[in-house]
Every structure is written in C-alpha cells, then in structure tokens.
Amino acid sequence: MRVLRPLYAQVIVAILLAVMLGVVAPAVAVTMKPLGDLFIALLRMLLGPIIFCSVVLGLTHIADMRQLGRLAGKALLYFEVLTTLGMLVGFAAVNIFRPGDGLHARALALTPGIAKLTSGSGDFTLTHFILSIVPGTLVSAFSEGQILQILLVSVLVGAALNLTGKGSESRLIGLIAELQQVLFRILGFFMRLAPLGAFGAMAAAVGMFGAVTLVYLAKLVALYWLTTIVFVLVVLGAIGWWIGISLFKVLRLVREELVIVLGTASGEVVLPRLIMKLEQAGCDEAVVGFVLPAGYSFNLDGTSIYMAIAVGFIAQATDTPFDWAQQAAVLGVLLLTSKGGTTVAGGAFVKLAATLQTVKTLPLAGLNLLFGVDRLMSTCVALSNVIGNTMAVFAIARWERAFDRAAFDAFLLEQSAGRTGTVDRGIEQ
C-alpha cells in the first residue's frame, strides 16, 4: 500500500500493533523486548564512526585558516550557551510538569540484561570522568564505544588535518568523506528496522506495565513538543531580534528543508541544501562552511532539551531519587555527551543511553519506556536542531560582519516568486 511506504507510517502502525498486543496478551508482548534491544544495538554500533567522520569533516571544511581560531571561538561559545539554555529549559519543564510521576515502573531496573550493560562502569566522580575522556589508544576509543573519547580523538584528528598541507592529507579527507557516506547508507539500512524496534520496545513496555503507560508517554511527548516550540519562539526568536533577522523570515527561508526533515526525522538529509541556500542568502562561504557542519555536531538544541526531559522522566517514572545536586551533575555530563553526534533519527536516543551508562544515576532500563515514542520525539529533535543551526549561521555571520542583508532580502523575494531552483540544480551537479 502506498500509504505505508513512508518509514514514519510504518513505525506508527507498528506502535499501534504493539499497543494492541500489550493490552490483549501482556505476557507475549514482554517477549518482544529483544527486537527493541537489537535495534538499539545496531544504532550504537555506528555512532562512534559517524561522530568521527562528522567532527573531522566539520573541522576541515574551512579553507581560510586565519579565520579558524576566531570562528571556532565564537561558534563554540554560541553553541555552548544555546545548548546549556536548552538543557536548563528542559530540566525546568520536566520538574514543573513532572510527566512521569505515578507510573511506578521500578521493575524496569530488574530487566534481564541490564546488569551486563552496566557492568564495568565505575561510580561517577569528577576525577574519574575527566580521566575517562582520554582513551588508552586511538583505536580503543572506538572498540570500547566510549563517546567522549571518540569525540576527543575526532577533534584532534580534525585539527591536525586542518593544520597540515594539501597533499596526501586532502586524499585522507576525501576518504573520510566517502566513509561517512557509506556509514549513512548503512544507517539507512538499519533504519528500515525501526518499525520492528519500535514494536518490540512499545509492546514490552505496555505488556509489563499496562495501557496506563500510554497516558504517561503521551504527556511526555506533548511536554517535549511544547517545550521545544517555546524554546524556538522565545530563545531563538530573541537571537533573531538581537541580530536584526526575524525568526519567521528564517523559517520561511528554510521551509522546504523543514518539510523534508518532518518526513524523515533527520537533519542530515538537508545539510547540502542548507549549505548552498545560506551562502546564496547572504552568509559568507567560510562562515557557512565551518559553522553549519560543526553545528551538526555541537549545536543540537533539540537534542539538549530531549535529553534533559528524558532523564527527568526516567527518574520520575522509576521512582529514582533525583535531587537538584544530582541533576546538576548529570547536566554537566550532558553538556559533553550531547556533543559530537549527528541529527539522524535515533541519534539523541543513543546518546541518552551513553549518558546513562556514564553516570549510572538512573536505570538504563528506563530507556524501554522511551523507545516506543522515540520517532515522535526524533521528528521534533531534528526540526529544532535544523532551525537552531540555521540561526547559528546567521548569528555568527552577523557577529563576523560577514552577512549581506541585501542578498538575504533578494533571495527571499526570489524564493517567493519561485525562482530559486539553483539550490537543487547545484546539488544535482
């Protein structure tokens, strides 16, 4: 059937079937859990290499090395401030509205396999955390799947390649770019299994705790979408006012890309279009070439809000003590673990799993509650990340005095008249 061709439609059908199975045959539904576990494992397998490729290529994208230090400083400052604000907004929302209170899903901590997943992780301390960032070898960071270690290696390699010549290093960069495309293709293969993964996770959650789980998940999804909308309108809207570029004009500029993201729940698919469009809309090529790819790894506003709300929800749903001091400690970890990923569907969920494994404050099995609705959350994550990174390019271009307002206005007029086909033609070429 044509209506079931889109992946999101298949996931929705899988979730509905899982709910029916969980209500009608709870015991059978619980046995579906390995389907969700398998899909999560497949995503985690690719996360390290994808982080490496994305960060390295982002750091080597800029051609004018004289601007690299200045751009990097401004961009990283902007990224850190915005993602921190996103997490604070997320924590505030989940603490005020408390969507997980009353679920009492304590049994999740006893789910088979959780002890194996968390074994070998020491108690979280600041000293242990800082030392754990440095891998034993460059390869061990990837073989052990340590997110922060992979990020450190990626930054070092990207910076080294950017500071060397253009001979064999340029061929190495080309190989990394080709590897990234292969990884995205493999990820596309795995995402075809998303309906099975969503079915297994949702069926197990409903089968174990009953249909009442759906009420709490609906509250969680609604809270996340509303919180993200408020963040975009208030925080990003204020940045637009500060730089003199209306948020609504920016949304109109990238409306086609947002529609694509809405259908795919992935921001990666529109990156080439955004690079070309923002250059044509008056932003300096060097600023676009550095800030946008780097933002896809470091400026993930929607991911930040998602992770903050998710950890709060898991604590509430599993009746795990989670005071303000613990939340502050987790916030510090999230500021690091939320970086370095991509905006593909499921990326935020995998990084959330990595965060829970790192801090061990909350039960990793709480992810079982979230995975069934991750597609609904991922769509909003991808949309807000794309909007946030687009605003970041304009903000830093204005900060660098590398923005042509006349070109921006002219491009909007041409877009309204339907005369901006150069973007698509350029990508096809």
- Which residue from 311, 405, 421 is spatially nearest to 366, judged by alpha carbons? 311
Backbone phi, psi, residue 4, to 5°: -95, 5
Could you read off the pLDDT of 57-84 as tens digits, one per residue? 766 765 555 666 787 789 889 998 999 9
Contacts of 305 (CB under 8 A, 6+ apart): 86, 87, 89, 90, 93, 224, 227, 228, 231, 384
The pLDDT value given to residue 357: 65
Q: For tokens 């059978």, name the residue.
A: 28
Give the count of beta carbons closer than 10 Å to the beta carbon of residue 80. Answer: 14
Could you read off the pLDDT of 299-324 as tens digits, one per residue? 888 888 988 898 888 888 888 888 88
Are 400 and 74 in contact by the 8 Å Cβ rule? The answer is: yes
The segment with the largest mean pLDDT, out of 25-29, 271-275, 391-395, is 391-395
Kindly report which listed range (138-152, 256-270, 412-426) carries the lowest average pLDDT score.
412-426
User: pTM value?
Assistant: 0.67
How high is the mean pLDDT of the chain? 76
Residues 153-176 have a mean pLDDT of: 74
Q: What percent of the chain has pLDDT over 90?
A: 17
The full set of domains in the chain, from first to last, is: 2-428 (1.10.3860.10)
Could you read off the pLDDT of 100-122 as tens digits, one per residue? 888 776 655 434 433 343 344 34
User: Alpha-carbon distance 398 to 283, whole Å?
Assistant: 8
Kindly report which listed range (90-94, 143-147, 178-182) carries the lowest average pLDDT score.
143-147
The pLDDT value given to residue 124: 43
How far, in Å, are 252, 357, 392, 417, 426 from residue 420 at the CA level? 13, 47, 23, 8, 11
